[in-house]
Structure 1
Amino acid sequence: MTQKPLRTFRPATLALNAGLEPDALTHAIAPNISMSVNNSFIPGDGAFSANGLDLTETPFLYAGWTNPTVRQLEERLAALENTEDAYAAATGMAAMAAVFFSLLKSGDHLIISDVCYAAINELALQVMPSFGVDVTAVNLSRIDEVIAAIKPNTRLIHAETPNNPLLRLTDLQALSEITRAKNIPLSVDSTFATPVVTRPCDFGVDLVVHSLTKFINGHGDALGGCVAGKKSLISEIRSKAGVYLGASLSAHNAWLIMRGIDTLFPRMNMMCQSAMKIASWLEQHPRVKSVIYPGLSSHPQHDLAKRQMDKFGGIVVFQVDDIDTTEQRFAHESHLFHYAYSIGHQRSLAVLLKTEDLMKSTYRLTSEQQQEYLQYAGKGLFRLSIGLESVEDMIEDLEYILR
């Protein structure tokens, strides 16, 4: 058989083909699912002589550590993010916990974004201190605040761009220059962006984290998470979190997520186009007080968005005066926007994120940070996760809701 020449492919092609090998026996093109928990091995064949901490250098032994189907997903994710390796976990939170608990220990200092995904914010500020980790939350869009927050024992900085729910951006190039100079690992949650919009490691970031449950899977039917980056860091995370935290991704979910990745680029392209049209329409609506979307010239970081984002994402947030009435209309009268948490599914979702609730349950903001949050969010933000429906139908549905 003639061997195919090696070629370099663009990301949209890698989403379909990275790590894909037809089955050697049946020549089936779709990836197989290896459901076996155990793999047999021959004693003394090097099964336990891993190269350093890299468990992927050993044969497949136990699905709690590595699994053929999960490994294929990891290879595809690493190719999409243009990184050396990736580690897949049961959920996005499991991936984030893997980063924190693998790279931090008692006496270390962690810097996070003052506004980010609620569960990650709570893990950092409410759980990590009980393990002896000092945590500082700052506005990572301001480099001077980051520099001021760095301590001699700072061992990790974690950002999120666009962040949830404000869609505030972090300048990854500027921040990575600071972290490299200080020899501090930088991780970035890029769930809202996906590799279609931004590839953080191309800007010098060390680790990129995703909730695969969201846009990357894209069908609302499988939980998963991943962290991609330098092989040395991924190997350390895999050898610690992958073995001891017990948050392994199931082979079936890995297979479902790979199926979702096959259509990631066309889905995101359509969602981003629709989101831009909807954001522009909302900005002109008389009941809408403000709209936040990186693609709008009104976004305070629109110039950064144009430099850092290939597209502007599938999430739109906005304010209205009467949030209670509008919430009830979304919940009871919308035909297309399902009133639900989560994002990134093929169907459109809407939810109200009340400022008062988030301040009580999650964010530990200073008075100055709280005032800044209120400038963006007011009493609450409606978050739209744009799906694959006709954009004209979505706008008509929103027009009915906002009547």
Structure 2
Amino acid sequence: MSKSPHYCPETLALSAGFFSDQPTRVTTPDITMSVNHCFVPEEGSFSANGIENLADTPFLYAGWTNPTVRQLEQRIAALECTDDAYATTTGMAALSAMFFSLLRAGDHLIISDVCYAAVYELAREVLPDYGIEVTPVNLTDLAAVSRAIRPQTRLIHAESPCNPLLRLTDLTQLADLAKQHQVLLSVDSTFATPVITRPAVLGVDLVVHSLTKFINGHGDALGGCVTGNKALIAQIRSRAAAHLGSTISAQNAWLIMRGIETLYPRMKTISDSALQIAQWLENHPRVKQVNYPGLVSHPQYTLATEQMAYGGGMIVFQMDDMDDIAQRFAQEARLFYYAYSIGHQRSLVVLLKTADLMASTYRMTHEQAQEFRRYAGEGVFRLSIGLENPQDLIEELEQLLR
């Protein structure tokens, strides 16, 4: 349904799921705001056990699916080269939908030992309350992953690039290992977007995005999605849409579709700018270390060239006097907004201290903590590059990092 052999991804970003066949002959998707749809009883029935794919039923209730939301799902699935997608209120809702739909008491989950803080906390602090065992592993170490797999392991969850280190996971090798053990593999590809990496093509079963970030690209709508083969997405939708209430609103779905239409040129521009800025930072006398997948100095540069079309829009770097520099960003910057989140049209920056992350989120072994500090030292500034002219951003950095 979502895959098309006829169009390139740049074209699918504008056309997948959209047909101008309404009486008004619109050239951009409408928003269907109605919560309910009329139906003939025989057409609107669905199985009480929730196994039937709700996406195949007539539109009945917006909590299950909605015409505007369905267009968004079809477009994302087309860009990720998967059968189907389920769109949710947030990225965390997508991950929660996936975990609570696929895992049961007694199951075992392997997650990346470095990932988005809320995901790590959900996995380590909430899932065990429901009888799900969780093991954080450095997913760059395939031998460690292999040792961690148990007969009860049902899912391995990765991020690539991971937040905040920008460490990569070799998705092809990890997918091969997961298949050998008949374990599902999911990856949060928010930092990459389908413009840069299409994990399903590399063998990944489920791809998760926070649509709030680069895919929306305007900082004005929350959303998330999980995409994969039809059976897995139907299983997730039947539980999450019907029972967890995680389906995205039509308004936000429409806003995110608007963002997708410029996703390819945006990500190319952002990546080109980020590379220029990363190269400038690497040559700055006060900058101790820069992590950016597009730099030759990145520890996994070879993997990045194989797995990523561009280096992406995220940069992290280390400096001394972190607190002073953070104050300058917060009080003096005009172009860099000191704020959390990423992937907006405007550039964002925030200081992430290693000690704070260790105290609030990560529970690491000594070896894992050492690996974290190899990338992050005592803390990093995380830059999310926007659509400003890169020379203007560099000039501002020059003033702020003096």
TM-score (structure 1 length as normaliser)? 0.97
What's the CA shift string for 1:191-216, capped at 9, x where partnerless?
00000000000000000000000000
d(CA) in 1 for partners of 2:182, 2:33: 41
Distance change >3 Å, CA 192–CA 7, structure 1 → 2:
closer
One-letter amino acid of the counterpart of residue 206, structure 2: L
What's the CA shift string for 1:144-181, capped at 9, x where partnerless?
11001000100100000000000000000000001111
Structure 1 residue 46: deviation in Å?
5.2
d(CA) in 2 for partners of 1:12, 1:46: 36
Aligned pairs for 1:163-182 (under 5 A) are 163-182=162-181
* Match in the other structure for 1:28: 26
Aligned pairs for 1:63-78 (under 5 A) are 63-78=62-77
d(CA) in 2 for partners of 1:57, 1:402: 55
8 A contact 1:206–1:229 mirrored in 2? yes
Aligned pairs for 1:76-95 (under 5 A) are 76-95=75-94
Partner of 2:248, secondary structure, is coil
Could you tell me which runs of 5 or more consecutive residues in structure 1 were left unpaired when the two chains were aligned: 1-5
Structure 1 residue 390: deviation in Å?
0.5
8 A contact 1:109–1:154 mirrored in 2? yes
* Match in the other structure for 2:239: 240
Partner of 1:152, secondary structure, is coil
d(CA) in 2 for partners of 1:142, 1:8: 38
* Match in the other structure for 2:304: 305
8 A contact 2:51–2:238 mirrored in 1? no
Partner of 1:119, secondary structure, is helix
* Match in the other structure for 1:12: 10
What's the CA shift string for 1:33-87, capped at 9, x where partnerless?
0100000101123542699521111100000001000000000000000000000
8 A contact 2:51–2:235 mirrored in 1? no
Structure 1 residue 242: deviation in Å?
1.3
d(CA) in 1 for partners of 2:353, 2:5: 50
d(CA) in 1 for partners of 2:267, 2:318: 24
TM-score (structure 2 length as normaliser)? 0.97
One-letter amino acid of the counterpart of residue 24, structure 2: T
8 A contact 1:81–1:199 mirrored in 2? yes
One-letter amino acid of the counterpart of residue 9, structure 2: P
8 A contact 1:22–1:29 mirrored in 2? yes
8 A contact 1:23–1:29 mirrored in 2? no
One-letter amino acid of the counterpart of residue 137, structure 1: P
d(CA) in 2 for partners of 1:150, 1:87: 28
* Match in the other structure for 2:265: 266
Distance change >3 Å, CA 239–CA 291, structure 1 → 2:
same
d(CA) in 2 for partners of 1:196, 1:67: 26
Could you tell me which runs of 5 or more consecutive residues in structure 2 were left unpaired when the two chains were aligned: none
Identity %: 65
8 A contact 2:43–2:57 mirrored in 1? no
Structure 1 residue 182: deviation in Å?
1.0
8 A contact 1:172–1:204 mirrored in 2? yes
What's the CA shift string for 1:229-278, capped at 9, x where partnerless?
01110000000111111112000000000000010001000000000000
**How many residue pairs get matched?**
398
Partner of 1:399, secondary structure, is helix
**Root-mean-square deviation over aligned CA pairs:** 1.2
8 A contact 1:49–1:58 mirrored in 2? no
Runs of 4+ in structure 1 displaced over 2 angstroms?
A: 45-53
Structure 1 residue 20: deviation in Å?
1.0
d(CA) in 1 for partners of 2:377, 2:145: 25
- 1:209 is the counterpart of 2:186: no
Partner of 1:237, secondary structure, is helix
8 A contact 1:161–1:188 mirrored in 2? yes
